[in-house]
Structure 1
Amino acid sequence: MKSMTEHYIGPEEIKAKRASYFYPCTQHFYQKPPQIVKGSMQHLYDDQGQEYIDFFAGVSVVACGHCNPSITDATLNQIQRLQHTTTIYLTQPIVDLAERLAELLPGTLQRTFFVNSGTEANEGALLLARMHTGRKGFIALEQGLHGRSNLTMSVTGLSMWRTDPFLEEEVYFIPRPYRTGVTPEEAAQDSLKALDKVLEEKGDTIAALIIEPIQGNGGIIVPPDGYLQEVKARLERYGVLMIADEIQTGFGRTGRMFAIEHFDVVPDIISMAKALGNGVPIGAFSTTDHIAASLNRPSASTFGGNPVSSVTGMAVLDYIGEERLVERSEELGHILMQGLEQLMKRHGAVISEVRGKGLMIGVELLASNPDLGAILTDQVLEEMKEQGFLIGKNGIYRNVLAFQPPLVIQDEDIQKMLKALDIVLERVEASKAAGVGRNPR
C-alpha cells in the first residue's frame, strides 16, 4: 500500500508532537493508537498497511464512505474551477444545494443558511429562534450535546462537554425520556412533567427547545413513540419553537433521511452538518419562510456554503439517492441490531442493553456498574482494533459501544465484526471475573 517515497513518522512521534503543540483537552482513543494514513469506503489503513473496517465513520461523518470517488471527483473538479468567493458574489452551487435540501427537508422547511460545522449550525438555529420570538431563554434535555461555542455549550447537558465556566444562565434542563430502572413510558412522563413546569413558570421567556431526535453522545437514546409529538404540542401552546439537532442523525443514519421523521413531527428549525459533507466541512440550519423572515439583519459566513462544500454536498445527496443508502441503513441496521441482541443473550453478564435505529446503535456495558463498564468498553475497543475493527464509544459514563459505520458497510463486514466481538466479549467477561483496573486512554 505504501509507496517508496512515502514516510510516516508513526504513532509515537505523533503523540509526542500532540503533547508539545496541542492543548491538553485533545485526547485520543486506544492505549496503542494506529497512525491512520488512508481510507477507502468502509476501510481505513494505518502506516503499517493494516486494514480496519470502520464502524464509527468519524462519528457519523463519512456516511458515504471514505474517499468515495463519486464524491471526491466532484470535490476535486470544483477545487480546480472555483474554490472561494463568499456569499457577496453570485455562485450556483450554493443555491442548487439549498434547493436540493428543500426537496428533502420535512414539512415546509425550505430556507437554509450555510455554515461550516455542527456547532455553527446550532448556534445559528438558536440565534434565529431568539430573533423570531424576541425571547432569550432555552430548554434542553439533560445529557444532550449541541456544540462547543458558548451558547451551544450552554444548552449541552453532558457535563464533560460543559467546559466554559461562564455559561448562559437562562437555560432550563429537563430529564431526557430515558432512565434505568423505569419503563420508557414512565421516563417520558417524568420528562413531560418537567417540561410542563418550565413552560408554566418561564414559557413567555423561552425562545426554543433544542433536542436531538436520538441522543448521540449521551449514549444513543431513542425516545419512546409519542414523546416528541407531546413535546411539540406543549411548545406550540406557549409559542416556543422546536429545534431538531440532526448533526449526527441526518442524511440516512437512522434509516430515514432525518431521524425526526421516525416520530411524525416537523420541527420549526433543523440543524445539520457531518454527513452532508462526507468529510468536507459544511453545516446548515433550515426553517420555514415565516420564521426565516426574522433573520433579516446583515449576516454572513465567510466560508459557509462555498462552492467546494456545496458541490460536495450535492454529490453526497446524489450518492445517497442513487445507492439507496437510507433504505440500506434501515435494512443493515436490522441485521446489526439482531446480531448485537444475540450477543447480549450470550454475554448478558457484561451487555446491559442494545438500542438505536438504523446504523446508529449503542451497546451499553454494565449499566449497574458504569465505572467498571467504562473500563470494559476501553478493553473492547482496544481488542477489536487489534482484530481490525474500529468502534466508537459514548454515554454519560463512556460505557456505551457506538456502532455508526459508513452506510456503505456490507452485510459481510457486519458478520465478521459480530464474530470478532463475540470472541472479544468472552475475554472481557473473563477479565471482569478476574478483576480489572482502569487503563489509561
Structure 2
Amino acid sequence: MSSLQLFRHLRSQWPRVLAYSTAANAPKVLQDIPEMPPHDFKPEPHTGLSFEHAKKVRKGNLHPSLLTYYREPVYVTQGHMQWLYDDTGRRYLDLFAGIVTVSVGHCHPKVHAALDKQLKKLWHTTNIYMHPNIHEYAERLTEKLPGDLKVVYFVNSGSEANDLAMLMARLHTGCFDIVSLRNAYHGMSPYTFGLTAIGTWSYNVARGFGVHNTMNPDVFRGPWGGTHCRDSPVQTIRKCDCPADCCLASDNYVEQLKDVLRHTCGKKVAGFFAEPIQGVGGAVQYPKNFLKDAYAAVREKGGVCIADEVQTGFGRLGSHYWGFQTHGVMPDIVTMAKGMGNGFPMAAVITTPEIAQSMSGVLHFNTFGGNPMASAVGTAVLEVIEEDQLQANCVNVGTYFLEELAKVRDEFQIVGDVRGKGLMIGVELVTDKETRNPLPPNEVGDVWEDMKDMGVLVGKGGLYGTALRIKPPMCITKEDVDFCTAVMRRALQNHKEKYGL
C-alpha cells in the first residue's frame, strides 16, 4: 500500500502512530506529522456513557437535523483553554471554539470560579425582581460600546438577539422591509430565517417575508474585487482594477444595494443587517468603505443599521473591540452572543435610548435573559479579556497566523484564498486559483478529516462548504499556529498525492 494509504489505515491507532511517526524507518507521510505544543493539563479519565452507546442515542433519540462533524465523530469529554480531549484522553487543538463561542478558553479558571461562586448563592430569579449581577454586568458591558449604544436587552442566543433586533427596527421606523446580504447567517428562528441567505441553510418553505437580500460584496468570489480591497494582512490573489484613490469594487456593490432599495423596498425601510465579517459564510470580508456607504444608503431611506457581532465581537478582530469599528461605522443596534459567555448560553441586543423606547408600549419579557449565572459569567469574561490581554493576542497571533497561511496558499494550487482579521480566519479551497471553482466536497472532506486525525479541529463554511473556518479561543499561541500550519501542509500534501493537484 502507498504511504498515504498507510497513513489513513494507521491513523485510527493514533497512540501507536505517534510513537512510530518519529522512528527513522517511518514513512515520510508519518515523519512529517509535527509534535503538539507541550501542555501540562491532565484530563480526568472518562467514566460516563461509552462512545458506541452515545452514537446509538444520537441516531435513535436526537433529531436527524443535528449535524455531526467528521466521518468518525470526535467524542469530546473535557476541555482546557485551547485544548479538547476525547473519551480516550487524546488531545486536540481546538481552532473552531465551539463555533466561535469559546472566547477566553475552555473552562477558564476565572470564569469557572465566577460561575461556581454564583451557583452557591442563586441560580435563577426572573427580572421582575432585581438582583445585583444583571445591573453590574449591564453597566460593564455598555461601557464597551461607543456613542449612545447604552441600553441592553439580554436574551439567550444569537438567533434570539437578531430576532429582537428586527422587531426593534420595525417598531422604531414604522416600516417592515429589512435588507441583508446574500451569504449572510443571522440565525434560524422563523423571524431570522429570511435574513440568513445561504442556500444550504434554507428549507423549502415560505420564509423571509419582508426581508430582501442584496449581492454579497465578496472580493474573492464576487464579480468585483482585487488585491487592495480588504482590511486584512492578506489580500486576495485577484488583480485589482481600482485606481489608487478609490475602490470601484465597493462602489459597485453599494450600487447593487441601492438597486434593491429602489426596486424591492417601499419608500422607507426598517433596517439593514450585516456581520462585520461573515462567519458561517466563510470569513468573507467586504471591500473597504462598503459598510460605511451601505449604512448611508439605508439611512437615506429612513432605516436603522444593525451590526451582528455574534461572531466578531469582544476583541476577536484584534484592532478593535467590536467588528463594526474596523469599518469606521456607528450602528443603531448591535447584537451579540457566543463569545460573550465563553460557552454559557447568553446573548444581548444593545441600542440607543430612543430606539429602546419604541418597545415600551407593551410588555416584552425574556425568562432567562440576564439571569444571575449568565451575568456572573459575562462579567468574568469581560475581565479576562482585559487581564489576559486577549485583544492584543488576537492582533499578534492572528496576524502571524494569516501570514503563515498565506505561505501555505502560495505552495498549493487548491488553496485559493486566505482572509480575515485577528483570529477570524478563512481558508478557501478551490480546484485551481485561476477559475476559483469550488473544490469538490469529498476532496475538501479529505483535507478536513486528515487535519482532525492529526489533532487539529477546524470548521467549514461558505455556500459550497469549501472554506476552512479558523476561529479559535483567543488564548492560542504562535506555537499552536506553527503546529496547525504544519498539519495543514501535511493534509494538503496528502491531497496532492492522491489527486495530483
TM-score, reference length from structure 2: 0.83
Cα distance in 2 for residues equivalent to 1:64 and 1:118: 18
Which residue of the other structure, out of 82, 85, 95, is the alignment partner of 1:45?
85
Corresponding position of 2:69: 29
Corresponding position of 1:147: 187
Corresponding position of 1:415: 482
Which residue of the other structure, out of 363, 377, 380, is the alignment partner of 2:447?
380
Cα distance in 2 for residues equivalent to 1:169 and 1:2: 49
Corresponding position of 1:305: 370
Corresponding position of 2:29: none
Runs of 5+ unmatched residues, structure 1: 435-441
Cα distance in 2 for residues equivalent to 1:96 and 1:336: 36
Amino acid at match of 2:150: Q
Amino acid at match of 2:164: G
Q: Deviations over 1:240-270 (max 9, x none)?
A: 1111011111111111211111011010000
SS at match of 2:197: coil
Corresponding position of 2:500: 433
Q: Are 2:275 and 1:227 aligned?
A: no
Q: Deviations over 1:169-225 (max 9, x none)?
A: 321111011134532545433321122123234243421111111111111111111
Corresponding position of 2:38: none
Question: Percent same amino acid among aligned pairs?
Answer: 37
Q: Are 2:360 and 1:320 aligned?
A: no
Q: Are 2:172 and 1:132 aligned?
A: yes
Which stretch of the first structure deviates more once superposed, 417-426 or 141-150? 417-426
Whether the 8 Å contact between 1:365 and 1:373 is mirrored in structure 2 is: no
SS at match of 1:204: coil
1:237 deviates by: 1.4
SS at match of 1:372: coil
Which residue of the other structure, out of 256, 273, 288, is the alignment partner of 1:210?
273
Cα distance in 2 for residues equivalent to 1:122 and 1:51: 35
Corresponding position of 2:53: 13
SS at match of 2:480: helix
SS at match of 1:385: helix
Amino acid at match of 2:342: N
1:64-83 matched pairs, under 5 angstroms = 64-83=104-123
Whether the 8 Å contact between 1:377 and 1:393 is mirrored in structure 2 is: no
SS at match of 2:169: helix
Corresponding position of 2:337: 273
Amino acid at match of 2:167: L
Larger radius of gyration: 2
Cα distance in 2 for residues equivalent to 1:360 and 1:258: 12
Q: Deviations over 1:134-156 (max 9, x none)?
A: 11111010010111111111111
1:93-108 matched pairs, under 5 angstroms = 93-108=133-148
Which residue of the other structure, out of 169, 184, 206, is the alignment partner of 1:166?
206
How many residues in Structure 1 have an aligned counterpart in Structure 2?
Answer: 432
SS at match of 2:419: strand
Corresponding position of 2:251: 189
Whether the 8 Å contact between 2:250 and 2:288 is mirrored in structure 1 is: no
Runs of 5+ unmatched residues, structure 2: 1-41, 230-246
Corresponding position of 1:241: 304
1:107-126 matched pairs, under 5 angstroms = 107-126=147-166
Q: Deviations over 1:293-331 (max 9, x none)?
A: 111021110000000001100000000011111111011
Cα distance in 2 for residues equivalent to 1:187 and 1:232: 17
Cα distance in 1 for residues equivalent to 2:377 and 2:480: 27
Cα distance in 1 for residues equivalent to 2:342 and 2:392: 18
Which stretch of the first structure deviates more once superposed, 423-432 or 47-56? 423-432
Corresponding position of 1:357: 421
| 1:406–1:120 distance in 2 versus 1, CA, 3 Å | same
Cα distance in 2 for residues equivalent to 1:354 and 1:80: 46
Whether the 8 Å contact between 2:45 and 2:89 is mirrored in structure 1 is: no
1:3 deviates by: 5.5
Which residue of the other structure, out of 337, 340, 347, is the alignment partner of 2:402?
337
Cα distance in 1 for residues equivalent to 2:337 and 2:58: 27
1:375 deviates by: 2.5
Q: Deviations over 1:379-412 (max 9, x none)?
A: 1221111111111111110001111110000111
Q: Are 2:430 and 1:366 aligned?
A: yes
Cα distance in 1 for residues equivalent to 2:98 and 2:406: 24
| 1:6–1:248 distance in 2 versus 1, CA, 3 Å | same
Amino acid at match of 1:6: T
1:426 deviates by: 0.7
Whether the 8 Å contact between 2:84 and 2:91 is mirrored in structure 1 is: yes
Corresponding position of 2:322: 258
Corresponding position of 1:392: 459
Cα distance in 1 for residues equivalent to 2:50 and 2:353: 52
Cα distance in 1 for residues equivalent to 2:102 and 2:189: 23
Cα distance in 2 for residues equivalent to 1:373 and 1:335: 29
RMSD: 1.6
1:291 deviates by: 1.2
1:288 deviates by: 0.8
1:77 deviates by: 0.8
Cα distance in 2 for residues equivalent to 1:422 and 1:58: 24
Amino acid at match of 1:397: Y
Corresponding position of 2:348: 284
Whether the 8 Å contact between 2:119 and 2:373 is mirrored in structure 1 is: yes
Whether the 8 Å contact between 1:71 and 1:316 is mirrored in structure 2 is: yes
Cα distance in 1 for residues equivalent to 2:147 and 2:447: 42
Corresponding position of 1:437: none
Cα distance in 1 for residues equivalent to 2:427 and 2:335: 26
| 1:313–1:85 distance in 2 versus 1, CA, 3 Å | same
Amino acid at match of 1:411: K
Cα distance in 2 for residues equivalent to 1:5 and 1:352: 41
Cα distance in 1 for residues equivalent to 2:194 and 2:299: 23
Cα distance in 1 for residues equivalent to 2:450 and 2:58: 24
1:94 deviates by: 0.8
